[in-house]
Structure 1
Amino acid sequence: MILTVTPNPSLDRTYEVPSLDRGEVLRATGDRVDPGGKGVNVSRAVAAAGVRTTAVLPLGGAPGILIAELLTAQGVDVTAVSISGQTRSNISLAEPDGTLTKINAPGPELTPEESLLLLDTVRTHSGAADWIACCGSLPRGLPPEWYADLVARAHDAGARIALDTSGPALLSALPARPDVIKPNAEELAEAVGRPLATLGDVVKAAEELRALGAGAVLASLGADGQLLVEESGTYYGTAEAGAVRSNVGAGDASLAGFLIAGGAGPAALASALAHGAAAVRLPGSAMPTPADLNPSAVTVTQDVPLDLPLSEPAQRSNRQRQARRA
């Protein structure tokens, strides 16, 4: 069983538009509503693969009720922590060429009592989980050290932890020794405080985070594939995705694929790549089913091309990183 924790979930509305023209009335050619948040998407992808999953998340107001209903309909067991604030709603505008414009709301502010209840709820359900995926930004009211506390509590219950967050929350959690972390190239560059221009730079940065406490690093590199750096070795993989329809939730589907396949080694990396490539071919934040996967399009090797330049070097401004993080 894979348990997910999403401290700042959302109700995601995606509109497909012919083009994004500022100041004009845009007429959508398609739309969908999905339960959102990185951990929520991991649970959706796990459920779509036919594996049992429980999503622990704070929910409030009408959006919270709808999120729980949508997740239950998709086969996800929902353990909701009731909060006084209203769960946020996000909007995405998807253009035909795959360009995505996102508007992420800040979300509610959790009280100290709600924060503690969320931690206690995760601890209560940790014993039944093979993996706990802790994912996404922290809402207002939770300090950067909150994930570190959660990781420590979950480890005490014997569960393995996958952490997908960034910035101070990521760095604060490393001393608690999460079993695997999943940064993208920009988040990895931010964590080590320097730009990453080649695959070799990514390997060095991943090793630095392992030295700080991460058991393994699963780095998402967009069109350049993924890199797994763990105790058994370093593995690099790519996948032919084809036409990109939407990349919303693709990284979350990738993490789900990694955990479903055991969360370690080249086979798990191949599963991560197959799930991520399948997700970008789907609309909105739809999660892939086994029928959507194409394992033959995936290549994984231990012969890592360290001199390979990244197609989009991770050296964007902090302002851009902050805008993309939530």
Structure 2
Amino acid sequence: MIVTLTANPSLDRTVTLQGTLRLGAVQTASDVREDAGGKGINVTRVLRGSGVESRAVLPLDPEDPFAVALRAAGVTAAPVAVHGAARANLTIADPEGVTTKINLPGVTRTAEDAAALIDAVVAACAGARWLVLAGSIPPGLSESFYVDVIRAVRAAGAPAPRIAVDTSGAALRAAVESGAPDLIKPNEDELAELAGVTLDPGAPLPEQVAAIATRLVPARVGSAFVTLGGDGAVLVTADGAWHGTPPPTRVRSTVGAGDSSLAGFLIAEERGAGPEECLRSGIRYGSAAAALPGTQAPTPTDLLPGDVPVRALDHP
């Protein structure tokens, strides 16, 4: 069982244009779709589509139409009753897969909402192998909310699950500084922001990312799985560092690709794979998601053909 927490879920609306986005112009859409979204929910959708048991904890107003989209996606949910509908995020995609994304802040949550979410996560984690804390923290909650969740889960008495964190900014910094997560999954920009450094566009990206991540692993986090978009991904553990290259991919939408990468990584880990194969699986699932429109959850039948070469990187 893998439990996910999405504290700030969203109804993801994706509009696909017939041509390139032109600011200030009136354009025609060729397609529109809606998906139950939010990073943790996306992870659960991919896991369940690949036969891995997963439960999604999220705040949900009983009157919110988001519940319909959640059921349609086949998500096994542990909803926490709150007031206020989930936010709606808008993605505009052109035929070449270039996306423009507009994210709303979400409903302001209370201390009572936070306590109820933490209680629900602790209950859901009984017997779980992993807990995934994913996405932004809604307005009203502290940037250390994920740290509070981690501490509550680890203090619950039963063997605690391993904890993966996929967020950014102040929430990621707090989790790394005070939460000691077992895995983080930033992209290269989020990792650089976390470390307070600037990436050098003239230097090889995988090597730069590995060098930054080794400052954190294993001193503050167990491992770092860093997604690099079209450049693949880097995995850094206490035992080594590796870079994987994705198969040829015709990108249709990058929304949710990072979430699918994390799910792919966990699918392989759940099945006992080593670090290189976990990296490979994460890249395959992320590439498959990028090749699908909207925020669709790739299944094993969507995985792209072609090799995913993995090479070892220098590791201090």
TM-score for both structures, normalised by structure 2: 0.91
**Comparing both structures, which one devotes a greater share of its residues to helix?**
1
1:153, distance to aligned residue in structure 2 (A): 2.2
Q: Which among 270, 282, 298 is matched to residue 272 of structure 1?
A: 282
Q: Which structure 1 segments of 5+ residues have no match? A: 307-326
Q: For 2:215 and 2:304, how far apart are their aligned partners in 1? A: 33
Q: Is the aligned partner of 1:234 residue 2:244?
A: no
Greater displacement, 258-267 / 218-227: 258-267
CA distance in 1 between partners of 2:295 and 2:244 (Å) = 23
1:193 and 2:192 matched: no
Match of 2:304 among 291, 294, 305: 294
1:86-105 map, 5 Å: 86-105=85-104
Q: CA RMSD in A?
A: 1.7
Alpha-carbon distance in 2 for matches of 1:128, 1:77: 16
Q: Deviations over 1:26-46 (max 9, x none)?
A: 221011100111111111111
Q: Which residue number corresponds to residue 12 of structure 2?
A: 12
SS in 2 for 1:90: strand
What corresponds to 1:313 in structure 2? Answer: none
TM-score computed with the length of structure 1 as normaliser: 0.88
8 Å CA contact retained: 1:61, 1:87? no
> 2:179 aligns to what?
176
Q: State the distance in 2 between where 1:295 and 1:125 align.
A: 36
Q: Secondary structure at the match of 1:261?
A: helix
More off after superposition, 210-219 vs 159-168: 210-219
Distance 1:155 1:232, change over 3 A: farther
| Structure 1 counterpart SS, 2:197 | coil
Please give the secondary structure, in 1, of the residue aligned with 2:36. strand
In 1, Cα distance between the equivalents of 2:219 and 2:174? Answer: 10
Secondary structure class of the residue paired with 1:205: helix
CA 1:196 to 1:75, structure 2 compared with 1: closer, same or farther past 3 Å? same
1:249 deviates by: 0.3
CA distance in structure 2 between the partners assigned to 1:169 and 1:49 by the alignment: 29
- CA 1:295–1:255: 2 relative to 1, 3 Å: farther
Judging changes above 3 Å, is the alpha-carbon distance between structure 1 residues 43 and 114 closer, same or farther for their aligned structure 2 residues?
A: same
- Give the C-alpha shift of residue 100 in structure 1: 0.5
Which residue identity does 1:30 align to in structure 2?
A: D
CA distance in 1, matches of 2:117, 2:91: 28
Count matched residues.
303
How much does 1:53 deviate? 1.1
Measure the CA separation in 2 of the matches of 1:104 and 1:287.
Answer: 19
The CA distance in 1 between the partners of 2:241 and 2:294, in whole Å, is 32
Alpha-carbon distance between aligned partners in 2 of 1:257 and 1:272, rounded to the nearest angstrom: 4
Deviation of 1:51 after TM superposition, in Å, equals: 1.6
Distance 1:229 1:30 in 2: 39
Partners of 1:101 and 1:200 in 2: CA distance:
29
Structure 1 counterpart of 2:68, one-letter code:
E
TM-aligned CA deviation for residue 269 of structure 1: 0.7
CA drift at 1:129: 1.5
Picking from 228, 240, 244, the partner of 2:251 is: 244
For 2:250, give the aligned amino acid.
Answer: A
Indicate if the aligned counterparts of 1:6 and 1:38 stay in contact, CA closer than 8 A.
yes
Question: Which residue identity does 1:76 align to in structure 2?
Answer: V
User: Which deviates further from its counterpart, 145-154 or 276-285?
Assistant: 145-154
Shift, 1:295, TM fit: 5.9
The separation in 1 between residues aligned to 2:235 and 2:23, in whole angstroms, is: 40
In 2, the alpha carbon distance for the partners of 1:85 and 1:51 equals 31
CA–CA separation in structure 1 for the residues paired with 2:128 and 2:13: 30
Give the partner amino acid of 1:134. L
**What is the match of residue 309 of structure 1?**
none
Tell me, yes or no, if the aligned pair for 1:232 and 1:265 is still in contact at 8 Å.
no
What CA distance in whole angstroms lies between the structure 2 residues aligned with 1:42 and 1:94? 22
Pick aligned residue for 1:164 from 160, 163, 166: 166
Which whole-Å CA distance do the structure 1 matches of 2:72 and 2:36 have between them? Answer: 11
Alpha carbons 1:44, 1:71 under 8 Å: kept: no
Matched letter for residue 278 of structure 1: A
**Aligned residues with identical type, % of pairs:** 43
Task: Give the residue type in structure 2 aligned to 1:116.
Answer: A
Of 257, 264, 284, the residue aligned with 2:264 is: 257
